[in-house]
Each structure stands twice: as structure tokens, then as C-alpha cells.
Structure 1
Amino acid sequence: MATFENHDHELASIDMEIARLAQLCGVHMLEPGVAEAVLRGDSSMCSSDNPIAWEKMRGLLVLHYHVVSEVAAAEGVDVAAESVRKALQSVRERMRPKQQ
């Protein structure tokens, strides 16, 4: 079970940084097809020119897919899907503007 929790934490950390970098680049990462375009190196969806943030975001997205692939191979697709779901939920909660 500790391995599952470790993957959840690792994915949440990676995805949080991807979300921050996506904001810097003006990329809407959760829109359909955007992650695939980023992986292909297509920066046309960026509304801000930030080559350093772009390259880091793209590298972290590759790492995200690598971690998910390893979890799926070691613990099954259902476990990997749950890790992704939890990471996405964590990022959404942390990136949501705080209401005053």
C-alpha cells in the first residue's frame, strides 16, 4: 500500500508543477488534445512566450506518462487510473482560487 501512496504523491507533485508551468505558458492543459500537442512539441496553443517554462512543462508531462506507465505495469491499470484521478483532484483543489 505504501507504493500506491508514493505514486499518488509523486504524480500530484509532477502534475502541480505542470499546472504552474501551463499557467506561465498560457496553456489550457485539460482541454482535449492539448497534452498530446505538448508531447509532440506543438507550442501553438501557448498564449505566452516562455521557452524555459515550455520545455520544463513538456519534460514533466513526459515524466507524468512514464510514472503512470510504470504504475500500470506494476500494479494494474485500475490502480494507475486511480493515481491519476487523485493527482488531478489534488491539483484542482490547490489551483482553485481561494474565496474570501
Structure 2
Amino acid sequence: MQQHDDITPFDRWSRPIEEIDEEIGQLSVACGVYLLEPGVIERLLHNDTSVCDHGNQRAFDKLRQLVMMHYIVTERTVEALGAEQTQELTSRIVDRLRPRFERLLHKPSDE
């Protein structure tokens, strides 16, 4: 059996946050929710389905739950690692996910 002593606390907290955020990105695309637009996350948390361009209640419900879970896990990460390391961890995750999701999470401009 392989030892997991080489896994740092940073790595231990990074994986669940990244998995949650990746699924949030996928569900946002499925629902047509532009999470990076101002006020959208707050409206999503208040169960406002008008933030969706596509009607998919099950996907919206799961997206909302995952956003709430993201906040809970992030709070626990701050408790475990401290604010500075959590910010570094979050920045690394965003840098890895940005190329896949960023253009899909902003509402296209009407140019």
C-alpha cells in the first residue's frame, strides 16, 4: 500500500476545491449562467433562475449547491491553511481552469 505522507496540506485542500470549481464551470455552461458577470453569483445563491439562458432546473439546483459548497470548503481551507495560503491555492486553481471556462462564463457582448 502506498504511503500518502508526501501529500501536503496544500495539495489535500487543492483537489476538492478544483473538482468543485471544474464542475461549477461545466454546469454554468450547461445552464447558460455567466458566473463572472456582476451580481450573477448572488442571484444564483438566492435561487433566481432568471440568470439561466437554458432551462434545466436539475442542473441549476446542482450548480447552486456546488457554489454554496465552494464557499464552505473555502472557509474550511482558510481555517486549515490560513488566508494567505488559501489565496495562493485559489489563484493556482483559477489559473488552471481559466483557459477552459473564462470565455464561456462572460456574457457575449453585443458588438
More displaced, 58-67 or 31-40? 31-40
Question: Aligned residues: percent identity?
Answer: 33
Indicate which of 25, 37, 40 corresponds to 1:19: 25
Q: Quick check: 1:9–1:87 contact (8 Å CA) kept in 2? A: no
More displaced, 38-47 or 16-25? 38-47
Superposition deviation, residue 93 in structure 1: 2.8
Q: Quick check: 1:14–1:60 contact (8 Å CA) kept in 2? A: yes
> Which residue in the other structure is 2:78 paired with?
72
Q: Which runs of 5+ in 2 are unaligned?
A: 1-6, 104-111
Normalization by structure 2: what TM-score? 0.78
Superposition deviation, residue 32 in structure 1: 2.1
Superposition deviation, residue 89 in structure 1: 1.6
Q: Is residue 2:94 matched to residue 1:84?
A: no
Q: Which runs of 5+ in 1 are unaligned?
A: none
1:57-97, CA deviations, whole angstroms, 9 ceiling, x for partnerless residues?
11111110011000112221111222221222221133479
Q: Quick check: 1:25–1:47 contact (8 Å CA) kept in 2? A: yes
CA–CA distance in 1 between the matches of 2:87 and 2:39? 19
Runs of 4+ in 1 over 4 A off after TM superposition: none
The amino acid of 1:51's aligned partner reads: Q
Count of residue pairs the alignment pairs up: 97
Matched residue SS, 2:51? coil
Q: 1:83 to 1:36 in 2, by over 3 A?
A: farther
Q: Quick check: 1:12–1:86 contact (8 Å CA) kept in 2? A: no
Q: Is residue 2:61 matched to residue 1:51?
A: no
Of structures 1 and 2, the larger Rg is shown by 2
More displaced, 57-66 or 2-11? 2-11
> Which residue in the other structure is 1:37 paired with?
43
